[in-house]
Structure 1
């Protein structure tokens, strides 16, 4: 695999966190950061898939049973906000 050099800037406390985590895993900082980036991208894709599945499930439910009550929608919004799956600015699934 060909590696490309990438320059990043981080606050000093983050630098120390990164170095400590890489050392704990016995990896070079660059390898640890590359793995962290891949993991972050994978988690973002999973979140996108989860939001699509939630929308599909809600649509299926509402087709069969009618609109979801507002109280249930509010509880769902609160849960999604707490789990980071809700875009705070719009109040809609991110």
Structure 2
């Protein structure tokens, strides 16, 4: 695999956390950071795919049954927050 060099800037406390985590896993810092970046990118892609699938399900439901009422949307939001699937920040950014 061909590697490309990147330069990043982090606060000193983050640098120490990264170095300690890499050392604990017995990996060079660059390898540890590359793995962390891949994991973060994969998680973001999975999250985006999940949101797209959820939106598609809602669109299909509404096409067959009409718009979901605001009361039902609030109930769904409360359920998702109680289940730990959503927090206020996620809800606000989802619109």
TM-score (norm 1): 0.79
SS in 1 for 2:87: helix
Residue 37 to residue 84, structure 1, CA distance change in 2 (3 Å): farther
In terms of fraction of residues, the more helix-rich structure is: 2
1:39 corresponds to which residue? 39
Gaps of 5+ in 2: none
2:65 corresponds to which residue? 65
Gaps of 5+ in 1: none
Number of aligned pairs?
A: 90
Q: Is the 8 Å Cα contact of residues 22 and 28 (structure 1) preserved in structure 2?
A: yes
Q: Distance in 2 between matches of 1:24 and 1:76?
A: 42
Higher relative contact order (CA 8 A, sep 6+): 1
Kindly report which structure 2 residues correspond to 1:5-84, keeping only aligned pairs within 5 A, or say none: 5-77=5-77, 79=81, 81-82=86-87
RMSD: 2.2
* Worse-matched range after superposition: 62-71 or 73-82: 73-82
In terms of fraction of residues, the more strand-rich structure is: 1
Cα deviation, 1:47-70, whole Å, max 9, x if unaligned, reads: 110111011110111122222121
